[in-house]
Structure 1
C-alpha cells in the first residue's frame, strides 16, 4: 500500500519576509483540469506574483509567474513531494515589499510558505489501487453493487449498461484485489467476469 496522502480540504499559510507578504493556499485536486481551476480560483490578480505547482501521480507542473526561473514553482513542488503528498495543488501569492530577496531567499520564501501551509493541513491517506472491470448480468447487478460499495476502499463509478447487463468500473485496494475478484465470482456462481487492469 502506498504511503502517499492528499489533503482533506483547502488549507492556507502566511509569512512576511523582509516586508514581502506570502500567502499559500493548498487543496486536493483529482486531475489537471481541476488543478488549473484551483490555481485560477486562488490567484490574486492584485498581487505581484501567483506562483504555483501541482502533482497528480507521475504528472506535475509548476510556474514561476515572473520570478527568476527556478526560484518559486520548483520549490513549491519540492514542498509537495517532500511531504509525500499527491493529488495536491498549491498557489503561493506574493505582494512585493520593496526589499529584494535574491534567488536563495526567493526559493526559501516560496518553498517555506508552501511547506508551512502543507504541514498545517489535514491529510487523508491514499490507497494504492488497481483498476478493474466487472461485467455482470442484470440479475446479479443489484447484489454486486450492494456488496462492492460496502467494501472499505473500493471505489465504483456508475455502471455502463450493455444489452444483457452492465460493466462496473472499479478501483480496488491492491492488497484486496484477488479477494474481491473471488468474492464477485462466488456471489454470481461464475457468471460475472472480473478483469484486473495492471
Structure 2
C-alpha cells in the first residue's frame, strides 16, 4: 500500500514539475470543439468529416467545388479555420473574382492509400449525387514517405483504418484531459 502511495506521489510531483517546466502546454486543450485551444467545428460533406467555420455552415451546390485530400495539415489541425492554407487560397481567389468553394477532406495520419480510397469514393458520389467537382488536389505530406508500396498501404488501410479511427475518437474523448 505504501508503495502505491509513493508511486502516485512521484507521478503527481512529476506532473507538477512538467507543468511548471513546460509552459507551452498551458491552455493546450483538446475536446470535441477545441484543438490546441482553437475552436474546431466538424461539418459533413456527403459522409466525409470536414472542417467548417461554424455549425450553421452549409455547402453551396451552385458554384464549382475544389476538393483537397490530405492529412492533418489539410484538416487545419491546431489552426484557426481562417488560417488554414486552403481557406486563405479560397479567400484570395474570391478577391480575384473566382467564385468557388474549397473543401478539405482530411484524416489525421492519412497517407496516399487513404486519399486514393476517398478520391474513388467521392468520384462515385459525384456521378450519383451530381456534385460539381471542378478540381481535385492531393496534398503530399510526411505520411506519404513511409516505406510501403501502394498495395501494402491499401491492404493495411483496409484493416487498420476503422480501428484507428475508433481508438482516436475514444482517446480524444477519454484520455486527452490533461492540462
Could you say which TM-score interval applies, normalised by the shorter chain?
Answer: under 0.3
Greater helix proportion: 2
Higher Rg of the two aligned structures: 1
TM-score normalised over the length of structure 2? 0.23
Greater strand proportion: 1
